[in-house]
Amino acid sequence: MEEQKLEQEVISMPRIGDPAPEFTAVTTQGDINFPKDYAGEWVILFSHPADFTPVCTSEFMTFATMEEKFAKANCKLVGLSIDGLYSHIAWLRTIKEKIEYKGMKNVEVKFPLIEDISMNVAKKYGMIQPNEDSTKAVRAVFFIDPKGIIRTIIYYPLSLGRNFEELYRVVIALQAADEFGVATPADWQPGDDVIVSPAGSCGSAQERMEDSAIDCKDWFFCTKKLDKNLVLDKILKK
């Protein structure tokens, strides 16, 4: 019974729409109280399997070079693995001093990397998935909004590096949906048409079909233009 309880604890995970589980932690940038310290900002909380591993190294270099880009979209980055603080520090120093990848070199990782030797945070967020690995966190990504609510969750296995342009697209699309009350279709990028929510009645469906600003292929599939500059002006910090 005790083993079954432990297994359930390890593989549990929060869901989209849930408040982000709270925790305090030691990081490479000092102690944090999460998500309280990030109130009013978007956050990407992401885990990686281990320090001094090649896929993780490529990911951290990519995230570090994009940190300013995310910051302009009011989004902070917070990393986590179950390695210790001194391992984190040594690994990040090695990245800066020795590693070159895709033209990136002398890369300094300035966002916090959480020490989670106890796996307490990883367990709260379902980052430990025993059928993949019982002692390493998978590549989980949690998008948390300014109110501390989980809005998107993406999971990758240990062997698969993440697509960071997609992570950035998600941040922009979530904010655009909130700001303009729309949905974003497949592969949406700022400047592309957006989806207008389906009509709630026959009358409003007819009105929508007759609205020249809305392009309806059928009553349930309607799009409209949303200017790229308008989207970016609303979202990106100047």
Pairing of strands 139-144, 42-47: antiparallel
Which bin fits 227, alpha (ψ -120 to 50), beta or left (φ > 0)? beta
The CATH number of 2-161 is which of 3.40.50.720, 3.40.50.920, 3.40.50.300, 3.40.30.10? 3.40.30.10
Q: How far apart are CA 135 and CA 14, in angstroms?
A: 20
In the chain, which segments carry CATH 3.40.30.10?
2-161
Residue 203 burial (CB count, 10 A)? 9
Q: pLDDT class for 151, splitting at 50, 70, 90?
A: very high
In this prediction, residue 212 carries a pLDDT of: 67
In the chain, which segments carry CATH 3.30.1020.10?
181-235
Q: pLDDT class for 202, splitting at 50, 70, 90?
A: low
- C-alpha angle 236-103-61 in degrees, rounded to nearest 5: 60
pLDDT, tens digit (0-9, with 9 covering 90-100), for 34-81:
999 999 999 999 999 999 999 999 999 999 999 999 999 999 999 999
Q: Are 26 and 85 in contact (CB under 8 A)?
A: yes
The catalytic residues are 56
In this prediction, residue 13 carries a pLDDT of: 81
In this prediction, residue 201 carries a pLDDT of: 47
In this prediction, residue 137 carries a pLDDT of: 81
pLDDT, tens digit (0-9, with 9 covering 90-100), for 163-177:
999 999 999 999 999
Q: How far apart are CA 185 and CA 46, in angstroms?
A: 25
pTM of the model: 0.90
The CATH code belonging to domain 181-235 is: 3.30.1020.10
In this prediction, residue 219 carries a pLDDT of: 79
| Residue spans of alpha helices (H) in the chain | 2-11, 54-72, 85-98, 120-124, 164-180, 202-210, 228-235
In this prediction, residue 204 carries a pLDDT of: 57
Task: Indicate if the pLDDT at residue 216 is higher than 90.
Answer: no
Q: What is the 3-state secondary structure (H, E, C) of 143-162?
A: EECCCCEEEEEEEECCCCCC
The answer on whether 151 is annotated among ligand-binding residues is no
